[in-house]
Homo-oligomer: A and B are copies of this chain.
């Protein structure tokens, strides 16, 4: 733990953050300059970092607890998609001099809830002062059996494409949170906005996919973009069958009311589900993992050879045979 810049940062650390480190003996109650961690035997460490900036990655009036849970969630989603079991995290928090202590308390409470849900501890951090937007950076660490980390590369033509949970809720939820989703009941809007604000990383399902999935990543940029990343890394192509897309009831009703939202569902981000490829021979095993973890895993297509052009590697086909090809500005519709 870096030392605080001002006396009341001692209170901040002692009151709000030290309790989050209580379960990690190597964090020394955040009273030393560094943390120590003894990795499990035969384990690799998996590391990822993601930052959130006020006005860029979250809205200024988002509740502090949900910002904290999102910060933890986006990082744990990366770990989960790599097959890693979360162990601990280090946090940088840049608060303004006028950030109320109650706001910080709400933020710490969000971290506490996230830790409880996903089984990890705070190992260290740095709280700094900023004259600018609130900014947070979180480094998350997890473990996999040696050599087991799931990669973006490794998928082969003929592998099935799967996605966990439901797709599109994050992007629709952002619209709902901004009041830009008309013709939707209040309950549906709240449910979608909740999915946007508080990701539910698939921390139990991810590690089960080691040895089962041939490639995996989490859906953060949007289904088509992330599938494109996997295809590019693996040298394959991928048609997604839109009729197979797993939608939440709220997303299904939003799409029925406004069919053009299909582009948002395919292209939007913030789903934090796991997108993975697996040989067809693993289908029964995947069904069993889904059953045992309670995490739905839906087949949404099959990988083919790469198209001649990069832009055609990933496409979506709707039940009427219409093709959607993403480009970096959104989607061209044919």
A261 interfacial contact with B, CB 8 Å: no
In the complex formed, the residue of B with least CB distance to A217 is: B33
A2 interfacial contact with B, CB 8 Å: yes
Complexed CA–CA distance, A132 and B56 (Å): 11
A322 interfacial contact with B, CB 8 Å: no
- Chain B residues whose CB sits within 8 angstroms of the CB of A137 once the complex forms: 51, 92, 126, 137
A62 to chain B, nearest CB (A): 16
In the complex formed, the residue of B with least CB distance to A123 is: B47
Proximity bits, A20-45, B CB within 8 Å = 1, else 0: 00000010100111111111000011
- Chain B residues whose CB sits within 8 angstroms of the CB of A56 once the complex forms: 5, 128-131
Q: A3-B221, A51-B126, A133-B131 are in contact. Are A37 and B33 (CB under 8 A)?
A: no
- Chain B residues whose CB sits within 8 angstroms of the CB of A133 once the complex forms: 130-132
**A2 touching B49 by the CB < 8 A rule?**
yes
8 Å CB contact of A91 from B7, B35, B49, B233:
B49
- Chain B residues whose CB sits within 8 angstroms of the CB of A220 once the complex forms: 2-3
- Chain B residues whose CB sits within 8 angstroms of the CB of A52 once the complex forms: 128
Proximity bits, A143-154, B CB within 8 Å = 1, else 0: 010100101110
Complexed CA–CA distance, A205 and B126 (Å): 25
A139 interfacial contact with B, CB 8 Å: yes
Q: 8 closest A-B pairs (Cβ-Cβ)?
A: A132-B132, A92-B137, A137-B137, A34-B48, A139-B139, A49-B90, A51-B92, A39-B39
- A residues contacting B by CB (< 8 A) are 2-3, 5, 7, 26, 28, 31-39, 44-53, 55-57, 78-79, 81-82, 84, 90-92, 94, 123-126, 128-133, 135, 137, 139, 141, 144, 146, 149, 151-153, 217-218, 220-221, 229, 233, 328
Jot down 16 A-B pairs with beta carbons below 8 A, ordered by A.
Answer: A2-B51, A2-B220, A3-B220, A32-B153, A32-B233, A35-B47, A36-B47, A36-B82, A37-B45, A45-B45, A47-B90, A47-B124, A49-B125, A56-B130, A130-B133, A132-B133
